[in-house]
Amino acid sequence: MLTSHHDAGSNYLNAKKGFMSWLFTVDHKRIGIMYFVSIGVFFLVAGLFALLLRAELMQVRIPDATATSYMISADHYNEAFTFHGAIMVFLVIIPSIPATLGNFLLPLMIGAKDVAFPKLNLISYHLYIVGALFLVYTVAFGGLDTGWTFYTPYSTQTSTSVIAAVFGAFILGFASILTGVNFIVTVHKMRAPGMTWVRMPLFVWAIYATSVIQVLATPVVGVTLILVAIERLLGIGIFDSTLGGDPILFQNFFWFYSHPAVYIMILPAFGLVSEMITAHSRKSIFGYKAVAISSIGIAVIGFFVWGHHMFTSGQSALASVFFSLLTYGVAVPTAIKVFSWVATLYKGSISFTTPMCYTFVFLFLFLIGGLTGIFLGALSTDVHLHNTYFVVAHFHYVMMGGTIIAWIGAVFHWWPKMTGKKYSETWGIISSVVVFIGFNLTFFPQFVMGTRGMPRRYYDYLPEYYNFHLLSSIGSFVLAIGLFIVLFTWLHSIFYGEKETRSNPWRAKSIDWTDTAVVPIEHNFEKQPISSHGPYEFDELVKPAKAGEH
């Protein structure tokens, strides 16, 4: 039934027209889409820089190198990996899921018309763009060669544009905090009647836990970045040891944020995977409450393990032992999630759709990423592996193999809801296979290189690493092809795709599917949804489900 002011066919995409109606919208769905496009662009840019790095590493020249035999100079290599890393971390992976799907889905999933503070939401987006401009500015003017970590004392000494970069990161942090505040209040105050805490979809739990981390960790890095800027300008002697300060203090501050930040990156992905696994195996999630609480558990423990980044930096041995021990603590709630996924899949009626294929890719890659994390959390092995390519491989498996893959899969999953279009399942599945092959080819050799001592952030290397680097570079081009297939599948769907007619093509059980139009209308719901059951009550449907699946 349509009421008078929502004409048939009217939805959030066409309710208002023109560029400005997007740029100044307060509709959480449109803001989500704008984030998606912006983050996609930055992903592309930073990805091209990654290919540049890999191209540079495709050759070994140390034995008879001359200055001109390098594709890019050592300094430019430093700037390129800093740019790649900083853009990927601050502009892509941290906001990726919360800002795009979080924005789009959170109110839909809890049955609200919008987030609690729509204008604040828009301000967050604008801040994100301003912060991004600062970071991009640093490449164009002066470069930045500290790595995305801004480690002191180097960052207080280098002549490159640190201040603009930390200022940009500060603004981005503020955007992140405001989004977090908004989401926390939305979850607390905007739930539909009957939507109790244990009836919330797991993605909502994940986003909620993420928001708590965003609000509590980000201000610490904010003040740290300000101190770095002040140190550079005035030399107040807080991080600079020649002035009486302590660079390890910087590392403590930095990792107090940046370790929890890895959970800002991965927790939302966990939530998405839970959603996709239940929907595409048509089974209720195994151990709902344990999975929900484990998100909070991860968020809490995540605050106490930052010291595992500093095993080799001269912190006390006792501290290192504690941090190592606590690090293993995070494995418990994480394992709860993994077991829940496996148990949910068990005897489910799994349909091999594109989102499901990406979910499998995620499970495989995250498993490797997670297990190799154990090597780095263990004091003894980390001393050997620290700052080698093992670390590079590990975090790419987690961040890209985990977060980005889950994100892509989830975009396929909610694509019909977001765009009202169908996409080509064939190309979707092909893309997942190409990405899977390319990804492993790129990053697996790096584990081997790392154990053999290849340091990270080097633009040249001894001949014995040549084959591994070659494989890795070839892999990166395969991976790039896979990602371009994803892009073309989406673009093709937008311009030539068939219209989706079903409002719930996966026959899911959560409000975002059951109570919305094919494409949600401007204020989400024609009438206030009421929640009367959990989000995954599939069980009674397990048998007949197989027939109509596509």
Partner 1 sequence: MSHQDHGASHPKYQAHHFKTMEQQTSAGKLGMWVFMAQELLFFSGLFCAFGYVKFMYPEAVALGQSSMDWRLGTINSIILLVSSLTMSLCVRSTRSNNRSAAAKFLLATMVCGFVFLAIKGAEWGMHFHEGYFPGKYFHPIAEAPIQNPMAHVFFGLYYVMTGMHAMHIVVGLGLMLWMLVRIVKGEFNSENYVALENTSLFWHLVDIVWIFVFPLLYLSK
Residues making contact with partner 1 (CB under 8 A): 3-5, 112-114, 116-118, 120, 177, 180-182, 184-185, 188-190, 215-220, 222-224, 226-227, 230-231, 233-238, 243-246, 249, 253, 523, 528
Q: Which is nearer to ligand HEM, 312 or 504 (CB)?
A: 312
Rule CB under 6 A: choose which of 128, 148, 208, 254 binds ligand HEM. Answer: 148
CB of 186 to ligand HEM, least distance (A): 26
For residue 405, the number of C-alpha atoms closer than 13 Å in the C-beta half-sphere is: 35
Closest CA to 417 of 84, 108, 34: 108
- Any contact of residue 399 with ligand HEM (CB under 6 A)? yes
Contact 267, 221 (CB under 8 A): no
* 47 interacts with, out of partner 1, ligand HEM, Cu ion, none, CB within 5 to 8 A per kind: ligand HEM
CB of 180 to partner 1, least distance (A): 8
Backbone angles phi, psi at 424, to 5 degrees: -80, 110
Interface with ligand HEM: number of residues (CB under 6 A)? 24
Q: Which is nearer to ligand HEM, 399 or 486 (CB)?
A: 399
* 246 interacts with, out of ligand HEM, partner 1, Cu ion, none, CB within 5 to 8 A per kind: partner 1
User: Using CB atoms, what's the residue nearest to ligand HEM?
Assistant: 85
x-marked contacts with ligand HEM along 428-467 as a string, rule CB under 6 A: --------------x-------------xx----------
- Any contact of residue 89 with ligand HEM (CB under 6 A)? yes
Angle at 304 between CA 296 and CA 174, to 5 degrees: 70
Give Cα separations from 259 to 162, 266, 299, 333 (angstroms). 22, 11, 10, 16
Contact 382, 375 (CB under 8 A): yes
Rule CB under 6 A: choose which of 36, 81, 366, 407 binds ligand HEM. Answer: 81
Rule CB under 5 A: choose which of 259, 394, 413, 421 binds Cu ion. Answer: 259
Contact 186, 115 (CB under 8 A): yes
Q: Which is nearer to Cu ion, 200 or 261 (CB)?
A: 261
- Any contact of residue 406 with ligand HEM (CB under 6 A)? no
Using DSSP's 3-state secondary structure scheme, residue 211 falls into: helix
Angle between helical axes of 405-419 and 28-56 (0-180°, round to 10): 140
Residue 533, exposed/middle/buried by CB under 10 A (0-12, 13-18, 19+)?
A: exposed
Q: Which is nearer to ligand HEM, 247 or 535 (CB)?
A: 247
Q: Indicate if the alpha-carbon torsion angle 48, 131, 269, 11 is positive or negative.
A: negative
Other C-beta atoms lying within 10 Å of the C-beta of residue 303: 17
Q: Which is nearer to Cu ion, 149 or 524 (CB)?
A: 149
CB of 215 to partner 1, least distance (A): 5
Tokens of 499: 């219209």
Contact 462, 62 (CB under 8 A): yes
Q: Which is nearer to partner 1, 235 or 544 (CB)?
A: 235
Q: Which is nearer to partner 1, 36 or 256 (CB)?
A: 256
Q: Which is nearer to partner 1, 90 or 208 (CB)?
A: 208
Q: Indicate if the alpha-carbon torsion angle 140, 145, 147, 148 is positive or negative.
A: negative
Residue 141, exposed/middle/buried by CB under 10 A (0-12, 13-18, 19+)?
A: exposed
Contact residues toward Cu ion (CB under 5 A) are 259
Contact residues toward ligand HEM (CB under 6 A) are 47, 50, 53-54, 81-82, 84-85, 88-89, 92-93, 147-148, 392, 396, 399-400, 404, 442, 456-457, 476, 479
